[in-house]
Structure 1
């Protein structure tokens, strides 16, 4: 098949949507499909264009057999709602010359568009209609819902306009895929029939991400002893997670010399967190940059406890991608989720982590106390078993490949 992928994030970004879209594009190319990708220069989660791509504009490169068309865009240093809107619109506008070029090349068999940004789908949808090609809109985050619930955008007229555009794109797509049953229900609420939907969950390469002993972790590199109790948050340091609670909890362990909080990653909220830890004199809160993929198992093995945090208002609007790696590494996760959400249901059903109330310092403290003072080996075994059974990269992508074949019949 000839597959055309649109997405603002792509490889070599290590976290978030770019990780999955990049791995998908590479996998399809490795299966012998002709893959073209329209994406931005990499910038996430640091919110800074990667050094290799600075000063470059419209370029084309090969990544693992996929032809990748890079688009320049505005990347704000300090991310606000207004600046993020400009950032995303700059990418959509930057696509136009590449879009015209692709319009007059050989027809693709399927168009795949990853959202957010939700309005990215306008140009891929127009391409699909002009060329008579089926389009799949893949929803990783329900961006407009999240912006509303988190109070990032408060203008009702603007919100209603965005919801209208989103519904139009979703309903006009041949298929709409998303990553959880909870998000499928919300998409159904937007008028998209269930027979138009595909469940396409995030995955993990369980052959590369696996449990390791502490001796093979990054504890020595980070200056930690094997006897230390390590609580790890790794990933995007953004608005949806409510990471301020980590600083509040760390204050309660200020007099414990054997308990450390590791925050590994980048994002718009990093400087604020660093300053809060500094102001509070929290020397046991340690910040490190994102680690390369080949060190991910070692990073995950560093922790006794993993934190998977979300704000209440983000329930079932996003599904934390970091959880797949934690499960594959046989890690113990404290997960903030409310009853009725997909996250709560799956973690509870398979007994593979501890679920606590979101945005509660007391609940997180109690969860950490439980984890560092009790035998949590059963949770860790269940986590690895679940990853092997339900999150296999090869199985999920093979199933989705068949969906694409069926759409073209």
Structure 2
């Protein structure tokens, strides 16, 4: 097959959908398919274009069957609802240079990855012109999240974005997403059930494996064997609501052996660091993102992992960091509302603890209970087993390839 994927996020980004887009297209190319990618210069989660990509304009990276068309874009210094819209528009407009380049190429299928929403609209128009099937993959329900988080307050704009989203969801030949909760939302917006495909976020279970504490980064980061490490590793943005960790650290400050370790980058990081310094908290540390190759060793330092998100996004997104936590056999405390697919997965499979979002008192108490819980060891075993049974890249990607092949054959 000849496949074109369009997304603002791509490797070498490892946060958000960038890693999954990169691994998916590389894997498809390794299976013998010809894959083109139109994407941006990498900038996420730091919201700064990486130094090696600055001032490079439009260019192409090529490796065997995989061609990656890079597009310059506006990256705001301060991320707001307005600047984010300008950021996404700049990518959509600037990427037209590459769309003109591929205008006369034949593709068997086009894939658009949302967010942003425009990453669905542009390939959809192209697919109609070329009479080619269109797959709309949803990593986040961006419009609902923007509304619920108050990132966009203009009702006319939200209504307009809603109409675009619903049109794409109803007219794409296939719509895929990563969780049951997102599936329910998508079907409620008009996607025919027969056109839906579940594409769970995956992990490489051979790379992301349990590592003994003595082989982790614990000693290198200055922690002893008796220190209790509560780890948050991932994007530090609006959806997570990580300001709660400042309150939690304050409540746990009397426990000298407990450290909250925050590893990552994002638009909210600077503010969190300033809040911790203002409160003179000694039991919360911030580290920059580490190389992806070191991630198993980093995740393995944790006694307890935290997966934090705001109530407003409980069933609109599925934290991508969670799959790697499960794969390394981590015991996790997850903030999730009742009747959400994330909570159901954790409770039904006994993978960890669930707390009500945005409740610092409850989270602090749950950390204390989890650190001394006799269930912790079993939860870790269950987590690894769940990853092996449900989240393996070797199992998920062939299913997606088979779906694409069936779609292409039925369309021709």
* Moved segments of 4+, more than 2 Å: 62-65
Displacement of 1:15: 1.1
Give the match for residue 115 of structure 1: 114
Give the match for residue 292 of structure 2: 293
| Mapped pair 1:310 → 2:337 | no
Distance 1:116 1:205 in 2: 23
Give the match for residue 61 of structure 1: 61
Map 1:41-60; keep pairs closer than 5 Å. 41-60=41-60
Distance 2:63 2:266 in 1: 25
Could you give the per-residue CA deviations for residues 276-326 of structure 1, whole angstroms, max 9, x where no partner exists? 111111122111111111111100101101000111110110000000000
Give the match for residue 202 of structure 1: 201
Give the match for residue 370 of structure 1: 369
Distance 1:305 1:51 in 2: 34
| Mapped pair 1:30 → 2:41 | no
Displacement of 1:123: 1.6
Distance 1:78 1:370 in 2: 38
Could you give the per-residue CA deviations for residues 95-151 of structure 1, whole angstroms, max 9, x where no partner exists? 11111111112x011101100001222220111111111010000000000001111
For residue 264 of structure 2, give the secondary structure of its aligned residue in structure 1.
strand
Give the match for residue 125 of structure 2: 126
Task: Note if contact 1:200-1:396 (Cα within 8 Å) is conserved in structure 2.
Answer: yes
Distance 1:141 1:374 in 2: 33
| Mapped pair 1:395 → 2:395 | yes
Give the match for residue 20 of structure 1: 20
Task: Note if contact 1:327-1:383 (Cα within 8 Å) is conserved in structure 2.
Answer: yes
Segments of structure 2 that go 5 or more residues without pairing to the other structure are none
Could you give the per-residue CA deviations for residues 50-102 of structure 1, whole angstroms, max 9, x where no partner exists? 11101111010025752000000000122111111100000000111111111
Task: Note if contact 1:6-1:114 (Cα within 8 Å) is conserved in structure 2.
Answer: yes
Task: Note if contact 2:252-2:364 (Cα within 8 Å) is conserved in structure 1.
Answer: no
For residue 330 of structure 1, give the secondary structure of its aligned residue in structure 2.
coil
Task: Note if contact 1:119-1:166 (Cα within 8 Å) is conserved in structure 2.
Answer: no
Displacement of 1:255: 2.8
Task: Note if contact 1:135-1:175 (Cα within 8 Å) is conserved in structure 2.
Answer: yes
Give the match for residue 385 of structure 2: 385
For residue 236 of structure 1, give the secondary structure of its aligned residue in structure 2.
coil
For residue 183 of structure 1, give the secondary structure of its aligned residue in structure 2.
helix
Give the match for residue 268 of structure 2: 269
Map 1:159-178; keep pairs closer than 5 Å. 159-178=158-177
Give the match for residue 181 of structure 1: 180
Task: Note if contact 1:79-1:268 (Cα within 8 Å) is conserved in structure 2.
Answer: yes
Distance 2:196 2:23 in 1: 22
Could you give the per-residue CA deviations for residues 202-249 of structure 1, whole angstroms, max 9, x where no partner exists? 001001001111101111221111110000001000001110111101
Distance 1:58 1:169 in 2: 28
State the Cα RMSD in Å. Answer: 1.0
Give the match for residue 354 of structure 1: 353
For residue 266 of structure 1, give the secondary structure of its aligned residue in structure 2.
coil
